[in-house]
Structure 1
Amino acid sequence: MSNLAPRLSRAVPSAGRLARAAPRVTPACSLTTRISGTAACRLLTCQEPTRRFFHNTTASATKVDLTQSSPPGILPEFSLKDKVIVVSGGAQGLGLVQTEALLEAGAKVHVFDRQPRPGAGSSFDKVARRAKDELGTSLSYHQVDVLEGAEKLHKITEEIVAKEGHIDGLIAAAGIQQETPALDYTAEDSNRMLGVNVTGVLLTAQAVAKHMYQNDTPGSIVLIASMSGTVANRGLICPVYNASKAAVIQLGRNLAMEWGVKNIRVNTISPGYIVTEMVQRLFEKFPDRAVEWPKQNMLNKLSKPEDYRGAAVFLLSDASRFMTGADLRIDGGHAAW
């Protein structure tokens, strides 16, 4: 990580706006060295009900009464009941928060992550126990490196289909971050960044989509990009990371075009700066960032992982059934100035 602490030139807002600045943040992927990190629509006829279960889980699936299949308190279109969803990079951070939201919406979730399964008492363990004891669903863990384990990715997805009967969705949230000036970047570091953040995302999406193809199962795939794929973050020196997230956005569009004929939707989410506990150390090194970054968006505050729960459920559910090839940027207006 660079030891540069660049000064930002944006004009200082009012004292009232400064008071709303949050103390801790991170961009779309947190500023740690590594982070462990959609179907074509049939025209309705006058005989069909206006509400339809869009993502049939099997070829022989019949029409479903959404009001009966939805968890209490949730709009029918947002229900993920009986859906099987994979989340890569779901052991912690944004991936785990979105995983819990999917479970609350009724889905069964299988997490892919490169680190060993977190132990008893960990945040992951608490979510897994809540899924079983409170939500009546399940959370499973699979250790795999999305870049180095291409064959293992396919093997694991085959095992999931054999067990569950289908896979209906994916959130590809695994990724890494590195803050280094362009003049100091090595080929090794650049290849590793692009490999994990782009090739790893492609291989994960490929492993899931393969079974959707084979089983003629409509589905939804969500790739976690970043606002950094659209703009150059002022004062944040991450040239290759930003390039990798721009590639993820473009990858999402191309997969949507290619897989749409099989009723597989592909969209991306581009988060803004995210509050995390791990980034507190960053602000000890660069205290000016904790003050300046909130000023760079229209809400004058910074997001938390919980702010992206609804986006995950929306994109994986029937609520977004006519949405594909799109980037859902959630950055507090940072890139809209």
Structure 2
Amino acid sequence: MPSLPEFSLKDKVVIVTGGARGLGLVQAEALLESGATVHAFDRLPEPDSDSAFAAVSRRARDELGVSLTYHQLDVRDAEHLNKVVEGIASEKGRLDGLIAAAGIQQETPALEYTAEDFNRMLEINVTGVFVTAQAVARQMVRLGKGGSMVLIASMSGTVANRGLNCTAYNTSKSGVLQLARNLAMEWGEHGIRVNTISPGYIVTDMVEALFKTHPERREEWAKHNMLGRLSKPSEYRGASVFLISDASSFMTGSDLRMDGGHSAW
């Protein structure tokens, strides 16, 4: 069947942080299906042999003819991060994309939030994203081929979530939005595009666990958007391929908000 060649990621090398599970792994699989070689970064010492990651890795090798490689690292460790990224770029002779999906969440009332926890949130969700993007950009500039970066933000970087006490998280995602715009401005001359995706509420394993203690949120959150339901990680697959591929070649400094209309009321 005919296809749109600009969506192809054949031979491209892409890094996905937070790629061992959840939204990061779902996006990594979409990139693999589009032909990319993917390197997943995460804090886990090693994904379990019977995990979803292992299944995706086997599928990449046996069915898709590409590869998914795991690297254990903390995005706050700039020295280690730069070393690993440089190694990937040097081995392949190219580095085409980044999806920065690593991040943490913590629900705590603002009056009770400690400075230590607030700083940790910003350190991982903002500084960690910056350091990752910087490491990737250094190699893209060195190789002179440009590339595309996708930073995972959130609708929570634009709105306050009614009834959800996540001041630090929302602040961090607002920072990611502004970070992307400024990196796009600085790195455009090198052919590096930087965009963000702002998801709405996603039903992940972490959210399912939250619903066990707050079951009313499953129904209440769905009422907050125009589609009247919550999203699934798989609904963001196409957005990642679009932004990494040449299909978005004239798009940079932009936010792709995918929140079911939550922010458009």
Q: TM-score range by the shorter chain?
A: over 0.9
Matched, 1:232 2:160: yes
Q: Which runs of 5+ in 1 are unaligned?
A: 1-71
For the residues of structure 2 that align with 1:245 and 1:171, how far apart are their CA atoms? 15
Query: Over aligned residue pairs, what C-alpha RMSD do you find?
Result: 0.9
User: What TM-score, normalized by structure 1, do the two folds share?
Assistant: 0.77
Q: Secondary structure at the match of 1:156?
A: helix
68, 85, 97: which one pairs with 1:139? 68
- Matching of residues 158-177 of structure 1 within 5 Å: 158-177=86-105
For the residues of structure 1 that align with 2:61 and 2:51, how far apart are their CA atoms? 16
As a proportion of its length, which structure holds more helix? 2
**Aligned twin of 1:121:** 50
User: What is the CA-CA distance between 1:290 and the residue it aligns to?
Assistant: 1.2
User: What TM-score, normalized by structure 2, do the two folds share?
Assistant: 0.98
One-letter identity of the residue aligned with 1:155: K
Partners of 2:93 and 2:143 within 8 A in 1: no
Partners of 2:22 and 2:205 within 8 A in 1: no
Q: Secondary structure at the match of 1:221?
A: strand
One-letter identity of the residue aligned with 2:247: A
User: What is the CA-CA distance between 1:74 and the residue it aligns to?
Assistant: 3.9
**Aligned twin of 1:31:** none
**Aligned twin of 1:42:** none
Deviations 1:218-242 (A, max 9, x none): 1000000000000000011000100
One-letter identity of the residue aligned with 2:27: Q
Partners of 1:253 and 1:267 within 8 A in 2: yes
For the residues of structure 2 that align with 1:122 and 1:73, how far apart are their CA atoms? 34
**Aligned twin of 2:130:** 202
Q: Which of the two has higher C-alpha Rg?
A: 1
- Percent identity of equivalent pairs: 68
Matched, 1:214 2:116: no
Partners of 2:19 and 2:25 within 8 A in 1: yes
- Matching of residues 7-22 of structure 1 within 5 Å: none
For the residues of structure 2 that align with 1:142 and 1:126, how far apart are their CA atoms? 17
Matched, 1:278 2:206: yes
**Aligned twin of 2:220:** 292
**Aligned twin of 1:91:** 20
For the residues of structure 1 that align with 2:34 and 2:112, how far apart are their CA atoms? 45
**Aligned twin of 1:250:** 178
Q: Secondary structure at the match of 1:265?
A: strand
For the residues of structure 2 that align with 1:75 and 1:336, how far apart are their CA atoms? 31
Q: Secondary structure at the match of 2:206?
A: coil
Partners of 1:74 and 1:105 within 8 A in 2: no
For the residues of structure 2 that align with 1:219 and 1:263, how far apart are their CA atoms? 6
User: What is the CA-CA distance between 1:81 and the residue it aligns to?
Assistant: 0.2
Matched, 1:104 2:33: yes
For the residues of structure 2 that align with 1:281 and 1:216, how far apart are their CA atoms? 45
User: What is the CA-CA distance between 1:284 and the residue it aligns to?
Assistant: 2.3
Partners of 2:151 and 2:196 within 8 A in 1: yes
One-letter identity of the residue aligned with 1:255: L
Partners of 1:100 and 1:127 within 8 A in 2: yes
User: What is the CA-CA distance between 1:285 and the residue it aligns to?
Assistant: 1.6
Partners of 2:25 and 2:53 within 8 A in 1: yes
Q: Secondary structure at the match of 1:274?
A: coil
User: What is the CA-CA distance between 1:73 and the residue it aligns to?
Assistant: 5.8
Partners of 2:154 and 2:198 within 8 A in 1: yes
Paired residues in the alignment total 265
Structure 1 moving runs of 4+ over 6 Å: none
Q: Which runs of 5+ in 2 are unaligned?
A: none
